[in-house]
Structure 1
Amino acid sequence: MSTQLIQRYLPNYPAHLHAQIGQLHAQGQLGVYLQQRYPQQHAIQSDKALYDFCVDLKQRYLKNAPLLDKVTFDNRLTIEKQTLGLNTAISRVQGGKLKAKKEIRISAFFKTAPLAFLKMIVVHELAHLKERDHDKAFYQLCMHMEPEYPQYEFDCRVYLLWQALANTTHS
């Protein structure tokens, strides 16, 4: 298994986890492991369904956060660019007033990923409505919204690695 790929997708994780993932891959079991943990495909396929999903989570956990003006799946956000989601505020002058529109863009990759991974990236982007930096408060907020956040983030990285390994094998 490529050490470069492991470092790219699993940076800052301990060597014993790298070894376990490498062993699963060498045995041809990495995909089986992921399929067993995350067997279901989600039904969130449209921007409207994604918007409703985000607003529901926001209302449940971040009632005082700014309203979301737009939530979309974005084909331009790719794994290769290491961008899976974006949280932006677009400021415009309207009638002499400055209006900020809050937008969340989620990589279209998540249309076919397990629901847990979609929820993880949505929680991550929603947390940016309150916490801009990836600091302790940010991750505490993520875990408040999704207690399994660290596991989902790790497994999502393994999923991305598995796909990258499959693409290098077929190239």
Structure 2
Amino acid sequence: MNPALRYIQGYPEHITTPVTKLVDSGRLKAWFENRYPENHTIKSEKALFEYTMAIKNRYMKKTAPLSKVVYDSKIHLINNALGLHTYVAKVHGGKIKSKNEIRIASVFRTAPEPLLRMLVVHELAHLKEKEHNKSFYQLCCHMEPEYHQLELDARLFMIYLETAKQNEPK
């Protein structure tokens, strides 16, 4: 099995079989670029923070504030994640100060905008729902109705990147 296909491990056969055929035939690149012809322009961390805050303010005004939203080149390598939400509480002079941070894998700096939006929505949902449960996914779908398709497409993006890297001349 192609190691890049690990991103869709656990998906049902009616999804994995066509993806495997696309990868094996070398047609995934053309399929993906046809589906997502343009990448987003949100390159700086300031722009990423503003983008995230616009989504948060539209759907989750009453949740805890965010202190940081950044692209992170290490998270994919550390725990095979595409994004992380962290909550840090510190005692400072008898008061508890808390900070919520979102980190997006830096490979998504050059991704199509819908895939970045799906990741941001996923991490924002963790402000309210810590676990990946039914309420969590309902919140994700409330903010992004195509959430489940975009989650699969984000995995296909990772396969696309890996197969492109494998096919580069050495």
Mark yes or no: TM-score above 0.5. Answer: yes
1:97-116 equivalences in 2 (<5 Å): 97-116=95-114
Give the match for residue 136 of structure 2. Answer: 138
**Cα shift at 1:5:** 3.7
Q: Which amino acid aligns with 1:76?
A: K
Give the match for residue 52 of structure 1. Answer: 50
RMSD of aligned alpha carbons: 1.6
Residue ranges of structure 1 left out of the alignment (5+ in a row): none
**Cα shift at 1:27:** 2.7
Q: Which amino acid aligns with 2:128?
A: K
TM-score, reference length from structure 1: 0.91
Query: What SS does the aligned partner of 2:75 have?
Result: coil
Give the match for residue 127 of structure 2. Answer: 129
**Which deviates further from its counterpart, 113-122 or 81-90?**
81-90
Give the match for residue 118 of structure 1. Answer: 116
Query: What SS does the aligned partner of 1:65 have?
Result: coil
TM-score, reference length from structure 2: 0.92
**Cα shift at 1:138:** 0.5
**Cα shift at 1:65:** 0.5
Mapped to 1, the partners of 2:59 and 2:15 lie a distance apart of 32
Mapped to 2, the partners of 1:164 and 1:79 lie a distance apart of 13
Give the match for residue 91 of structure 2. Answer: 93
**Structure whose residues are more often helix by fraction:** 2
* Residue number among 64, 70, 74 corresponding to 2:72 in the alignment: 74
Residue ranges of structure 2 left out of the alignment (5+ in a row): none
Mapped to 2, the partners of 1:161 and 1:12 lie a distance apart of 15
The answer as to 2:17 corresponding to 1:19 is yes
1:115-162 deviations in Å (ceiling 9; x for gaps)? 111111100000000000001110110000000110111011111122
Percent identical pairs in the alignment equals: 44
Q: Which runs of 4+ in 1 moved over 6 A?
A: none
Mapped to 1, the partners of 2:122 and 2:101 lie a distance apart of 13
The answer as to 2:63 corresponding to 1:65 is yes
**Cα shift at 1:169:** 4.2
**Which deviates further from its counterpart, 77-86 or 116-125?**
77-86
Count of aligned residue pairs for this structure pair: 169
**Cα shift at 1:79:** 5.4
Query: What SS does the aligned partner of 2:129 have?
Result: coil
**Cα shift at 1:89:** 1.2
1:72-101 deviations in Å (ceiling 9; x for gaps)? 111111257312111111112223201101
